[in-house]
Every structure is written in C-alpha cells, then in structure tokens.
Amino acid sequence: MNTITQALPFPNVEPDALLALVRAVRETGYRFITVTPATHARVNARPENARAKSLRDVLGWSRPFAPDLLPPEVSSALKQAGALVPHGNDLCATVRLSSLDGGLFLHSAYPPSAADAVFFGPDTLRFVDAVLDHLQAWTAPVHRAADIGCGSGAAGICIAKRVPDAEVALVDINPAALRAAAVNARSAGAGNVSLHQSDMLRAVEGRFDLIVSNPPFMIDRSERAYRHGGGPLGASLSLQVIDAACERLSPGGSLVLFTGSAIVDGTDPFREAAGALCAKAGLTWTYREFDPDEYGEELGDPAYGNVERIALVVLTATRA
C-alpha cells in the first residue's frame, strides 16, 4: 500500500519544504476562500490588484510580489520548495493555499491552465459539505472509503479525520494531484490514507463502504485533467464513477457523487442515465439539484449549443 510519505507534491518541488510552508502560513492566521477562475480573473484585473500587498495576495490570489514582502519563514519555505518563478522584477508562487475544515489545502496557483493542474475551488467546498452531511446522517460503519478523482484530497482527508479507524484511499489518475494530496494529508494529520494512481478503481483492490467523487463534468477543449468530463455533454466520467461504485460497493455501502448536469429542453439526460445504471445494479438512489444554474459563462461554447443551464447535482446510491 502506498503511504502518504512516499509521494512527492508537484514536479520539481520538495514535499517536506511544502509541508513546512503550510505550517508556517498557518501560524500567521492566514485564511483564504478560493473563488472560481472567472471571479479570480475579474478581481485580479482591477488595476489596484496588479501586485501583491499581503500574504493572501501571494498564496490566495496568485499575484506577483516583491521579494521582501513575505515573512522570512514563508519566504524561506517557498524557496526551499522550489515553488517560486520570476515575474519581471517580482516573483510568483506556483502553489496556492485554501481554507477548509479548519486547515489549509495546497493546490495549483492561478490560473490552473496546465493539463495536470490540481484544482480547488467553490465546488470543492460544496462537495465536502455534501459528503460530510451524508457521513453525519449515515449509521453504517465505514471500514474502507475511497475518494475517486481526489484532486487535492480534500473530501477523503475530511473523511479520514472523522473516521480515524477507517482506511481511506485517495485515488487519482493525475500524479500531481496525488503529490499535493500527500502534503495535505500530512498537514491535516490524516495518517489513515493511502495514495493510488488509478483510472477509477482499476488499480485499487477490494470493496468499499463509502465511495465519494467530484469528477470533472465540463466540456473542456484543452482536456485538462481536473475539468474535462468527456462525452457529448461532459457526463462520461461521472457515469464511470457510478459504474465503479456499482461494482465495488460493499453490502450497505454508499456512493456520494457531486457533479454537474447539462439540462437540455427541460430534461436531465445525466439523471436518466445515472438512474438506469443504479437500477440495473440494484442500488437505491436519490438525486437532487444542489444549485440549478452554475457556469453560465460556458453556454457560449458551441459544444453547449442546445444546453439551457448547467446544474450542480448530488447523487447518493446505496447497496442493500
């Protein structure tokens, strides 16, 4: 079993230095709620935001900064981690830190344009809330859990903290995501996680009492790992998660899937396909719209030409 200490964070950076960075920033009382990339672009485009004036500007808003701006401990950790790049006479950090569940989570700097960017945003907070709501209401024991497409590891780590006797598998096809998740797990003190580079659960053995996932669900022409869902309306990966859960849930086990659905002429094609998969596998399921209208800016893309809105949805499926 791969343990969290065996994985590196991002390419060309040192995991121990990044862990030291998280700890040094936490000591400052830093807090930052990461916004969507669209909001981030608008806020950073304001003339007064062209250059960082604070630690939040550097490690939250990803703004260029003067070399002497940061506290010495933070500056040293960034240098030791190799997480700085030049920006004219200034510097930029290649990582960000976002607040969640009383801790800080490491992920890619803005803009998350690289194919292997590790994304963390408002949907991460929504997803974790949905998972923790389910966990609080659920009475069945959790011995093994899996976070498919874990990204920064946020949901799986939050589960691991609340069920310390459980084995929690953080699963992602993106090596950079697992490297970030490793640092985040160490920072959170979640020693009961394992890391698995895998397409769905193909490289992970056994059954699970709880499977959670917030897979990519957009149509992304650049096919970035954190964003591109595949299929005609971005639903392919979400349906693959349901397939994996149908095969690997233990008796009494549940899937919590937080994803997006493209609504066409008042109908929800994803709901229909998801329900059919659950019914075929004998799973009981519930489905609700968490938010009826998000990512409206995407509807200008011709790929969404017949889509009237993109809803955020939560599917919960349970094996009897």
Tens digits of residue pLDDT in 165-216? 999 999 999 999 999 999 999 999 999 999 999 999 999 999 999 999 999 9
DSSP classification of residue 164 = T
Q: What is the pLDDT of residue 10?
A: 55
* Class of 122-319 in CATH: alpha beta
- Structure tokens of 192? 């009961």
Mean pLDDT of 49-60: 98
The residues, ordered by sequence, that sit 6+ positions from 35 with a Cβ below 8 Å of its Cβ are 43, 121, 122
Number of CB atoms found within 10 A of residue 111's CB: 12
Q: What is the pLDDT of residue 232?
A: 83
Mean pLDDT of 49-58: 98
Its pTM stands at 0.94
How far is the CA of 308 from the CAs of 136, 238, 267, 298, in angstroms?
Answer: 34, 20, 10, 11
Q: What is the pLDDT of residue 4?
A: 34
Q: How many helices (H) and strands (E) does the chain have?
A: 9, 11
- Structure tokens of 320? 């009897």
For residue 11, pLDDT over 90 is answered with no
Q: Is the dihedral of CA 97, 8, 1, 119 positive or negative?
A: positive
**193, 11 Cβ separation under 8 angstroms:** no
Buried b (16+ CB within 10 A) or exposed e, 229-267: bbbebbbebbbbbbebbbebbbeebbbbbbbbbbbeeee
Mean pLDDT of 53-66: 98
**119, 151 Cβ separation under 8 angstroms:** yes
Domain with CATH 3.40.50.150 in the chain: 122-319
For residue 32, pLDDT over 80 is answered with yes
